[in-house]
Amino acid sequence: MTPNLASFLYLLSSLCFIWALKGLSSPNSARRGNYTGMMGMLIATVTTLYMPNVLSLEWILGGIFIGGSIGTLIAWRLKMTALPQLMAAFHSLVGLAAVCVAASTLENPETFGIGAPHHIPFSNLLEMSVGSAIGAITFTGSVIAFSKLQGILSGKPLSFKGQHFLNAFLGVLLIVLIFLFATTESSSLFWALTGLSFLLGILLILPIGGADMPVVVSMLNSYSGWAACGIGFTLSNPLLIITGALVGASGAILSYIMCKAMNRSILNVILGGFGTSQNEEASLSGPKASHAHVKTGSPEDAAYLLENAQSVIIVPGYGMAVSQAQHALREMVDLLKNKNISIRFAIHPVAGRMPGHMNVLLAEANIPYEDVFELDEINRDFSTTDVAFVIGANDITNPAAKTNPASPIYGMPILDVEKAKTVLFLKRSMAPGYAGVDNELFERENTMMLFGDAKKMVEHIVKNIA
Amino acid sequence: MPDLLQTSFQLNALSPFMIALIIFVLAVFVGYYVVWKVTPALHSPLMAVTNAISSVIIVGALLACGPLDVSLSKVLGFFAVILASINIFGGFLITQRMLSMFKKKERSKK
């Protein structure tokens, strides 16, 4: 295969990837887009296999078979509620693969046509080390994010004194090591800088709390793209550069959207410690909530309220995902719809643990996407709604975000459920949400609390709807 | 001198880095505009599919794993092939699963 033909095929494959992303602008074109993406990957792989320096196929095909089987198995057995963890885990693999490829390039540069060992040009070494560093940070960062999402590590932000100083110091050290490596091509320096990046990945994600996981997952998504980009620069491979840039841009935009939905700067999220210091002060200074006025309802009460409403807006949150309540919910929605009650869903951008998580869960339960609305589309309608039914969500409905400048969530756009005639809160307990703030809505006149597991409670409500 | 001027702007007179940089910057712009068009409801599939396509790093892994004689470089490449393949198959299939759910809804609606 000539370089020109290969480049042309790589270009074709890049276009396929762009189409794949473009397809996601509507659910109608998305599936075709995904097939186009697969096609692009096939073209890229086959083109590379016909490269003159790819001589032994046994290992390669074996590797693809092993990896492909594992990947297929994971994809088929995945529960959609566990999607955020899985995404984090997958990002880590891209990161680790980038490190492997960078190391391999250093060991045997001739295979990649970038010079002989110990005579690799400075720029390639620089790109190689940057690619490896980003890959390594992506790897350990994603492993930490995975552990937090999976509940192996506590979702609480872990922070200690001098943390930012330490991270800044390590960051500078990393840059120094990269330059030293690029001038000397010493493989021990390469492993040192990669090791340091592994450490940095851990330290960067540990202090970030559970509520910020949507941002973290998006950020790591972005990093995995930049890592691929770095490798693309090292190998002067346009396909890797283009694809890496697409993925990097995509992750960056998602992080931006998530941050905006929480009214926080990306820097603020990265520096972490959300829900610790400010929070303790807030809860210490304010009078401890007595919960004296909290009205608790039974499933019968909830069923009665819902049946006699004309319009209902359901606000799902992470709690719905945890208890897998979406299918029971679908049953409830069907029953109410048969009674000509208007039912809609309102999704906050940061509901759940990854961007768009709630939409997927509702889609899984066969809820038509025409009934599912984003915050901007539906927020105005709460004032004309009879019942706002909040299932396993908390912070995204907390009016303190508007009224209390001392609250850590102040300024975050919220769903105005308080404006509905009646607010039903389905929660496991009075415990505050991830941000660690009490929700004054619980004590309002027009609020009724339903305590219990989301799925069981919704099932009870279904039984009580005649 | 005119000759020099003429050739100095041609692609073959540029360093590979410069060419790569041009491709990179343009690709970031394409990515930026394409991704803003993605509907928020499909942000999860977007993440899954970008995850799958970032595994195009398998191209580097295949080259690393390509030589006949066994070396550290080849073993590293082999690992990278496995890792990237998990991602490619897993990522595209999960995207497919998610998107098929969005599709089903539409059919039931009509």
pTM of the model as a whole: 0.87
pLDDT in tens, B61-89: 999 998 888 899 999 999 999 999 999 99
User: How far is residue A348's CA from residue B15's CA, in Å, rounded to a whole number?
Assistant: 47
B44 vs A45, A224, A356: nearest CB: A356
ipTM attached to this prediction = 0.89
Q: What's the pLDDT band for B106 if we cut at 50, 70, 90? A: very low
A248: contact with B, CB 8 A cutoff: yes
Query: Do B31 and A248 form a contact (C-beta atoms < 8 A)?
Result: yes
CA distance A277 to chain B (A): 32
CA distance A201 to chain B (A): 19
Query: Do A90 and A217 form a contact (C-beta atoms < 8 A)?
Result: no
- Give chain B positions within 8 Å (CB) of A19: none
Q: What is the average pLDDT across B22-44?
A: 93
User: How far is residue A33's CA from residue A45's CA, in Å, rounded to a whole number?
Assistant: 19
CA distance B72 to chain A (A): 7
User: How far is residue A465's CA from residue A306's CA, in Å, rounded to a whole number?
Assistant: 9
Q: How high is the pLDDT of residue A267? A: 77
Q: What is the average pLDDT across A315-327?
A: 86
Q: What is the average pLDDT across A279-303?
A: 61
Query: Do A247 and A225 form a contact (C-beta atoms < 8 A)?
Result: yes
B102: contact with A, CB 8 A cutoff: yes
pLDDT above 90: percentage of residues in chain A: 42
CA distance B110 to chain A (A): 10
A377: contact with B, CB 8 A cutoff: no
B44: contact with A, CB 8 A cutoff: yes
Whether B50 and A372 lie within 8 Å, measured CB to CB: no
pLDDT in tens, A454-463: 888 889 888 8
B109 vs A37, A253, A368: nearest CB: A368
Active site residues of A: 395
Query: Do B61 and A106 form a contact (C-beta atoms < 8 A)?
Result: no
- Give chain B positions within 8 Å (CB) of A413: none
- Give chain B positions within 8 Å (CB) of A248: 28, 31
Taking a contact as any Cβ pair under 8 Å apart, which residues of chain A between 397 and 416 contact chain B?
none
The DSSP code sequence of B42-91 is GHHHHHHHHHHHHGGGHHHHHHHH--SS--HHHHHHHHHHHHHHHHHHHH
Give the number of other CB atoms < 10 A from CB of residue A408.
Answer: 23
pLDDT in tens, A17-70: 999 999 999 888 999 999 999 999 999 999 999 988 888 889 999 999 999 999
Give the number of other CB atoms < 10 A from CB of residue A14.
Answer: 26
